[in-house]
């Protein structure tokens, strides 16, 4: 198949947070790499930031092996049965694997604290006010990510984290500052499970508690460039009506972590289409009017770039409920990786971004239907 990579646009990869579901993103990346669609820019939050660091922080030939090494290190044999067994058994297996991680921790990722500070004022800092310790993840990432390559390599890397005291979201970006291990750890510091992480004297938490999809950092980039963006979500805002408490908890989590991406796209589409309309109107003005200083200042508000978003999302799967994002069983990880790979292949085979963008349309969203 001929290369599907556009030559006239930047290629971005946006990775949502979602714990163990992040193996789906690794499968998506595998398909992109195999078809000459490796990104120029990766933006991630939480597990998306970890996957992003593994991609941006390694030479091209090592990116996929490092992703595999990471997901093998944080998974373990579980109770996940074959795909053709009844959903009830899959539910039991998934819950058993997730509860094992909750109770005993997860190899390569987190371990339970012997005596977490449970009472008001019992801890000395947000750096240890958590149920788990994430030193195993720190050690694993320090081995798998080359931060010199991350900061000096060809891929731009951005990650989101929330300032503990102000509650403000910030995107750390390799274009503007050096990204270090603590930045990646901060982006994945989901409270109260994981402790806050200190970066340059300030404490930070997981960016997903404010905005789980770091799409806005790509959409708001300036100066603007036409971009093909693969956005990989791990939670689905659309789902069936829940009929039990566990299903209600699952829908609640999905909606909580998924809705802002849809809102970002809708808001940006309105604004960016207006920018394109401003430029189109300026082009149609008489020469004398276009030379007017005030008119030129108005025209500067417009642009002629386009943003195409290929939206891939991890689907609701039988036997997965609210603890699905802490089910690190090796079979579940393999299934999610394979699903991401197949979904991305279908998007690449269709390659809707090859079709011309309609005049004066700034944003086009290509939804990838499920199998």
| pLDDT per residue rounded down to tens, the chain (371 residues) | 456 788 888 999 999 999 999 999 999 999 999 999 999 999 999 999 999 999 999 999 999 999 999 999 999 876 555 555 555 666 777 777 778 888 888 889 999 988 777 666 655 677 888 899 999 999 999 999 999 999 999 999 999 999 999 999 999 999 999 999 999 999 999 999 999 999 999 999 999 999 888 988 998 898 889 999 999 999 887 778 888 887 788 888 888 887 667 777 888 888 888 888 888 888 888 888 888 888 888 888 888 888 999 999 998 776 677 888 888 988 889 999 999 999 999 999 999 999 888 777 788 899 887 77
Q: Are 336 and 24 contacting, i.e. CB atoms less than 8 angstroms apart?
A: yes
pLDDT at residue 259, as a whole number: 63
Please tell me the distance from the alpha carbon of residue 370 to that of residue 118, in angstroms, as a whole number.
43
pLDDT at residue 39, as a whole number: 96
Closest to 222 (Cα-Cα) out of 301, 278, 309, 279: 301
Please tell me the distance from the alpha carbon of residue 26 to that of residue 68, in angstroms, as a whole number.
8
pLDDT at residue 120, as a whole number: 61
DSSP character for 106?
B
The whole model's pTM is what?
0.91
Please tell me the distance from the alpha carbon of residue 305 to that of residue 272, in angstroms, as a whole number.
9
pLDDT at residue 342, as a whole number: 96
E-strand spans in 16-146? Answer: 41-45, 111-112, 132-133
Please tell me the distance from the alpha carbon of residue 130 to that of residue 114, in angstroms, as a whole number.
11
pLDDT at residue 124, as a whole number: 64
Q: Which residues contact 307 (CB under 8 A, 6 or more apart)?
A: 219, 226, 227, 229, 268, 272, 362, 363, 364
DSSP character for 19?
G
The encoded tokens of residue 204 equal 């930070």
Please tell me the distance from the alpha carbon of residue 63 to that of residue 333, in angstroms, as a whole number.
18
pLDDT at residue 145, as a whole number: 97
Q: Are 158 and 171 contacting, i.e. CB atoms less than 8 angstroms apart?
A: yes
For helices 135-144 and 60-73, angle between their N-to-C axes, nearest 10 degrees: 160
Q: Which residues contact 4 (CB under 8 A, 6 or more apart)?
A: 35, 36, 37, 348, 351, 353, 354
pLDDT at residue 88, as a whole number: 66
The encoded tokens of residue 125 equal 């800092």
Please tell me the distance from the alpha carbon of residue 217 to that of residue 158, in angstroms, as a whole number.
8
State the burial class of residue 173 (Cβ atoms within 10 Å of its Cβ: 0-12, 13-18, 19+).
middle
Q: How many Cβ atoms sit within 10 Å of the Cβ of residue 335?
A: 17
Per the rule left: phi > 0, alpha: psi between -120 and 50, beta: everything else, 360 is: left
């Amino acid at each position: 198949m001929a290369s599907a990579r556009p030559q006239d646009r930047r290629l971005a990869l946006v990775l949502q947070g979602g714990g163990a579901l992040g193996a789906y993103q690794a499968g998506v990346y595998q398909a992109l790499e195999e078809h000459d669609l490796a990104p120029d820019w990766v933006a991630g939050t939480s597990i998306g930031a970890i996957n992003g660091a593994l991609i941006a922080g390694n030479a091209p030939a090592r990116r996929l092996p490092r992703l595999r090494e990471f997901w093998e290190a944080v998974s373990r044999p579980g109770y996940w049965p074959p795909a053709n067994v009844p959903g009830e058994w899959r539910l039991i297996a998934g819950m058993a694997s997730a509860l094992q991680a909750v109770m005993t921790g997860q190899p390569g990722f987190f371990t339970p604290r012997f005596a977490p500070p449970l009472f008001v004022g019992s801890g000395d800092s947000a750096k240890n006010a958590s149920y788990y310790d994430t030193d195993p993840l720190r050690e694993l990432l320090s081995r798998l990510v080359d931060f010199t390559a991350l900061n000096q390599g060809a891929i731009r890397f951005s990650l989101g984290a929330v300032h503990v005291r102000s509650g403000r979201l910030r995107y750390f970006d390799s274009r503007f500052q050096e990204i270090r291990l603590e930045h990646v750890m901060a982006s994945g510091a989901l409270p109260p499970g994981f402790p806050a992480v200190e970066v340059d004297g300030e404490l930070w938490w997981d960016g997903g508690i404010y905005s789980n999809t770091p799409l806005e950092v790509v959409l708001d980039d300036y100066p603007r460039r036409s971009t093909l963006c693969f956005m990989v979500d791990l939670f689905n805002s659309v789902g069936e009506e829940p009929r039990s408490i566990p299903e209600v908890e699952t829908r609640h989590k999905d909606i909580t972590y998924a809705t802002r991406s849809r809102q970002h796209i809708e808001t940006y589409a309105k604004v960016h289409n207006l920018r394109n309309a401003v430029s189109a109107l300026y082009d149609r003005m008489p020469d004398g009017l276009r030379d007017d200083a005030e008119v030129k200042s108005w025209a500067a508000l417009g642009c002629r770039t386009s943003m195409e978003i290929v939206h891939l999302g991890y689907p609701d799967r039988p036997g997965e409920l609210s603890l699905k994002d802490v089910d690190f069983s090796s079979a579940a990880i393999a299934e999610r990786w394979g699903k991401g790979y197949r979904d991305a292949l279908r998007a690449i085979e269709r390659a809707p971004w090859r079709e011309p963008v309609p005049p004066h349309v700034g944003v086009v969203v290509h939804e990838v239907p499920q199998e």
